[in-house]
């Protein structure tokens, strides 16, 4: 129990200190653009945990989930193929490097022409941007499979799907998890960016609308809401990762102890 409390205190200590400093520094502020934190938190509760929760937050999370899922499936699949087959990697590398160098916000106008301004465009923007760290990390993880294990699998004639399931994916899973973690951060950023263009709902749309209508406390509250969502999604990912890679973390602890 003490260990859990220490971890929670370590996790929330710095945010609590920063909020306390913000509260103290902004108390009694009469600056229109920098209102007191108390007013911002009132707007957070009244707006973002009120009607905007279903009208803007939930649609954003659904788009984020859809785009991230598409990126994970495409990125892991292509990463496994590229990491496994050198000829395919050599063939696709110039094209992949070309598209990887294009910032996702730049392609938003093109995607608007192709998919319109509905959810499909926003999902494609998220998927396109966060696919690259997943793909590249997966490919590197597959290429780094231990040669001794690969040779052992070949000797025992473990090929095809069995080799993929019992050798390649477990060996590459730490790298895949690293790519998924990076992709999640990119997905949150692109979720907001995609909602800045011809949107009618979502976190990005609501924050910009608040800024344009000079609803400054609501704008700051939206930014805090976005940060809270990123924090909670990161915690959720770490929880899933700790269970998924429990064997890997246990192995590393055993190696350090030895």
**Per-residue confidence band for 64, with pLDDT thresholds at 50, 70 and 90:** very high
Domains and CATH numbers, the chain: 38-257 (1.10.3720.10)
Which residues, including other chains, have CB under 8 Å from residue 84's CB and lie 6 or more apart? Answer: 142, 168
- Residue 134: per-residue pLDDT: 95
Residue 149: pLDDT over 90:
no
Give me the percent of the chain exceeding a pLDDT of 90.
47
The sign one gets for the Cα dihedral 194, 198, 202, 206 is: positive
- Residue 5: per-residue pLDDT: 65
The counts of H helices and E strands in the chain are: 13, 0
Mean pLDDT in residue range 26-35: 89
- 206-250 per-position pLDDT tens digit: 999 999 999 999 999 999 999 999 999 999 999 999 899 888 777
- Residue 3: per-residue pLDDT: 60
Q: Which residue has the higher pLDDT, 31 or 117?
A: 31
Cα dist. 204→34, 189, 201 in Å? 20, 10, 8
Residue 89: pLDDT over 70:
yes
DSSP code, position 85: -
């Amino acid at each position: 129990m003490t260990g859990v409390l220490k971890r929670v205190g370590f996790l929330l200590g710095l945010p609590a200190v920063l909020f306390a400093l913000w509260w103290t520094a902004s108390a009694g502020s009469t600056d229109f653009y920098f209102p007191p934190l108390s007013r911002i938190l009132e707007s957070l509760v009244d707006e973002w945990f009120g009607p905007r929760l279903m009208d803007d937050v939930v649609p954003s999370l659904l788009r984020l989930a859809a785009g991230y899922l598409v990126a994970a499936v495409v990125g892991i699949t292509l990463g496994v193929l590229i990491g496994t087959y050198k000829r395919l990697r050599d063939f696709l590398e110039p094209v992949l490097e070309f598209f990887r160098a294009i910032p996702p916000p730049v392609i938003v106008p093109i995607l608007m022409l192709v998919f319109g301004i509905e959810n499909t465009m926003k999902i494609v923007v998220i998927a396109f941007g966060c696919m690259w760290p997943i793909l590249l990390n997966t490919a590197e993880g597959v290429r780094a499979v231990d040669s001794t294990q690969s040779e052992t699998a070949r000797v025992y004639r473990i090929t095809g799907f069995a080799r993929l399931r019992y050798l390649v994916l477990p060996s590459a899973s730490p790298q895949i998890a690293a790519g998924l973690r990076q992709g999640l951060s990119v997905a949150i950023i692109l979720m907001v960016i995609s909602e800045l263009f011809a949107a009618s709902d979502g976190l990005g749309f609501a924050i910009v609308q608040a800024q344009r209508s000079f609803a400054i406390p609501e704008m700051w509250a939206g930014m805090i809401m976005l940060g809270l969502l990123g924090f909670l999604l990161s915690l959720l990912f770490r929880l899933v990762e700790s269970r998924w890679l429990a064997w890997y973390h246990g192995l590393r602890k055993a190696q350090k102890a030895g």
